[in-house]
Structure 1
Amino acid sequence: MAQRERKNDPSRPATAAQGDRPKGARGQGARKPGPPAGARQRPAGKGNPGGKPSGPRPPDRDAAGWLWGGHAVLAALANPARQCRRVLIAGETVETWETEVAELLEARDDVRKPEIIARHAFAQHLPASAVHQGIAVQADPLDQPDLESLLADLPADRPAALVLLDQVSDPHNVGAVLRSASAFGATAVVTTKRNAPGETGALAKAASGALEHVPYPHVTNLARAMARAQDHGFRLLGLAQEATATLADEAGQDRLGLVLGAEGHGLRHKTRETCDALVRLPTRGPIAELNVSNAAAVGLYELIGRKAG
């Protein structure tokens, strides 16, 4: 299907377990027996709590979330609505980030200065797959508006465009959709509470700062949310490869919503029924299908960018 998601999510890092504590307590003055002669000592870690750690500590997943990458971190620090806790900069990238970070921190009262650490120490806080560019921020999630309030606050005399994602689960794709939504001036990216990513570091990195600018509400029932958008005057167009009409054929009013489904499933049955029309992009050639984030970018250009140009 032309507008379905192509998953490119790298394997997620497993959560490392804490080292087991030895069962029972040794009496005061008791000496720990040494290994038998010639025996190999086990490396530090589980079952060897007293030894020196043989690798980086697992990420601290109980604290506020970490965002990483230059654009994502600088945008978070520039957002007064974002509560930040710590900023990390790798020693070898200090010249790249320190001046701009210092300027942003002057306007904040939650973080006073960045922590300069060795690059390998980032592994204590971030997943192994994180492409962090030597900078990260520990921050609380943003307070996202509920969809009804967002719709009610829209000016009645101005065009608006929504992107609605039907259980698109890959954070890299969703982040790229947010980036396109920011670039073209979309009103919001709406997704589901189930089978969709929350505010993660991978999503924020892919969004390249757009998470700080584009509302990202999660809804319990997408079909009901779509109906509420229609009550507020939105015409909702679902992308489906088998549709006969093109997006350009139907994109003729000021309030429009672009509805995209996930790879493998596409738009669910109820989502399809709730759309005002099913449309396709005029792709051609031996490979006519687009990744969901690419389809969103092309669709937003058709809905917003072409009119603005």
Structure 2
Amino acid sequence: MKPKYSYNRQPKKIIQKSKSPPGETSPQNKAEIDLTYGRHPVLAALKSDRQINRIWVTGKLLGHGQFYPLIKEAKANGTIIDEVDSRRLSQLTQGGNHQGIAIQVAPYSYWDLTDLINRAKQTPDPVIVIADGIEDPHNLGAIIRTAEALGVQGLVIPQRRAVGVTSTVMKVAAGALENMAIARVINLNQAITKLKEAGFWIYGTTADTDKLLHETNFSGAVGLVVGSEGKGLSQLTEKNCDQLVAIPLVGKTPSLNASVATAIALYEVFRQRQF
């Protein structure tokens, strides 16, 4: 159980004000720091088991009832706390919407694929999303957020030619990352084979099929493969799918954003199960 703290204690007792913390990376090298910022994603990270290396926070937010006890606990666990002004945070985040706080989180610890599958199978008729080469961190973050909101049990991403879990992904996921199991694999098609052996039926989303999404029966354990931006599914991945499905489009736009297509497909999967 987390210790309780009085919210009216003076936050200055746990940190020292700093206009330019010694040894800090310059704002120009912000990419090297890989910051997560904004109240919602930071609050989710503070409540999780993730190791946080450093916190930059305004005095006003530091005294906030939600943040103060969590920041104090983080300091007790070895996190460096710097009270800074809003201008300094704007420099660190390169003008991002920091809302008074930014953190440097330790690198994301990916799940082993076998552990992810075993965890997923504890749920009746589990759903796992397989992202085939998503390169845009905003798309991956949006996919994670949608997947967690709809009840997906896990996500599988490749190591090569695809984005991993970065601070931008954390920001876009808006806290959902802390409740989503993600495995990063060397060979995506070997991972698909392993999912098949575990009883998952693999569906690939593509425009090149007459089988429509809403005409497909998504019962049992489902592995939903979504393709990369622009390229879609790779030929080998498409070949390894048990069934290909298409989202019917009636307008002049030929395709959808990867995260939007994933959201539509996942909604149909869970719509069938709910209603």
Is the contact made by 2:142 and 2:172 (CA closer than 8 Å) also made in structure 1?
yes
What stretches of structure 2 of length at least 5 have no aligned partner?
A: 1-25
Structure with more contact order per residue of length (Cα contacts < 8 Å, sep ≥ 6): 1
Shift of 1:301: 0.8
* 2:35 counterpart of 1:66: yes
Which residue of the partner structure matches residue 50 of structure 2?
82
SS at match of 1:259: strand
**Aligned runs of 1:21-170 on 2, under 5 Å?**
57-59=27-29, 65-79=34-48, 81-90=49-58, 94-95=60-61, 98-105=64-71, 107-108=73-74, 109-110=76-77, 114-122=81-89, 125-126=92-93, 128=94, 130-155=96-121, 158-170=124-136
User: Residues of 2 paired with 1:196 and 1:165: CA distance?
Assistant: 9
User: Residues of 1 paired with 2:57 and 2:268: CA distance?
Assistant: 40
User: Residues of 1 paired with 2:267 and 2:192: CA distance?
Assistant: 21
Q: CA distance change for structure 1 residues 256 and 57 in 2, over 3 Å: closer, same or farther?
A: closer
Is the contact made by 1:87 and 1:136 (CA closer than 8 Å) also made in structure 2?
yes
Which residue of the partner structure matches residue 270 of structure 2?
304
Q: CA distance change for structure 1 residues 219 and 112 in 2, over 3 Å: closer, same or farther?
A: closer
Which residue of the partner structure matches residue 212 of structure 1?
178
SS at match of 2:65: helix
Q: CA distance change for structure 1 residues 280 and 145 in 2, over 3 Å: closer, same or farther?
A: same
User: Residues of 2 paired with 1:156 and 1:62: CA distance?
Assistant: 38
Shift of 1:154: 3.5
Shift of 1:124: 5.4
Is the contact made by 1:243 and 1:278 (CA closer than 8 Å) also made in structure 2?
yes
Which residue of the partner structure matches residue 219 of structure 2?
253
Candidates 249, 261, 272, aligned match of 1:295: 261
Q: TM-score, normalised by structure 1?
A: 0.73
Candidates 222, 225, 231, aligned match of 1:265: 231
Shift of 1:190: 1.0
Q: CA distance change for structure 1 residues 232 and 112 in 2, over 3 Å: closer, same or farther?
A: closer
- For 2:244, the aligned partner's letter is L
Shift of 1:89: 2.0
Is the contact made by 1:167 and 1:262 (CA closer than 8 Å) also made in structure 2?
yes
Which residue of the partner structure matches residue 176 of structure 1?
142
What stretches of structure 1 of length at least 5 have no aligned partner?
A: 1-55
* RMSD over equivalenced CA pairs, Å: 2.4
- For 1:119, the aligned partner's letter is S
- For 2:242, the aligned partner's letter is D
User: Residues of 2 paired with 1:96 and 1:299: CA distance?
Assistant: 41
SS at match of 2:233: coil
Instruction: Identify, as 1 or 2, the structure richer in helix.
Output: 2
User: Residues of 2 paired with 1:57 and 1:105: CA distance?
Assistant: 23
Q: TM-score, normalised by structure 2?
A: 0.82
User: Residues of 1 paired with 2:223 and 2:214: CA distance?
Assistant: 13
SS at match of 1:99: coil
Which residue of the partner structure matches residue 22 of structure 2?
none
Q: CA distance change for structure 1 residues 156 and 204 in 2, over 3 Å: closer, same or farther?
A: closer
Larger radius of gyration: 1
The percent of aligned pairs where both chains have the same amino acid is: 31
Which contiguous aligned blocks of 4+ residues in structure 1 show a shift greater than 4 angstroms? 60-63, 111-114
Candidates 200, 217, 224, aligned match of 1:234: 200
Which residue of the partner structure matches residue 240 of structure 2?
274
Q: CA distance change for structure 1 residues 203 and 154 in 2, over 3 Å: closer, same or farther?
A: closer
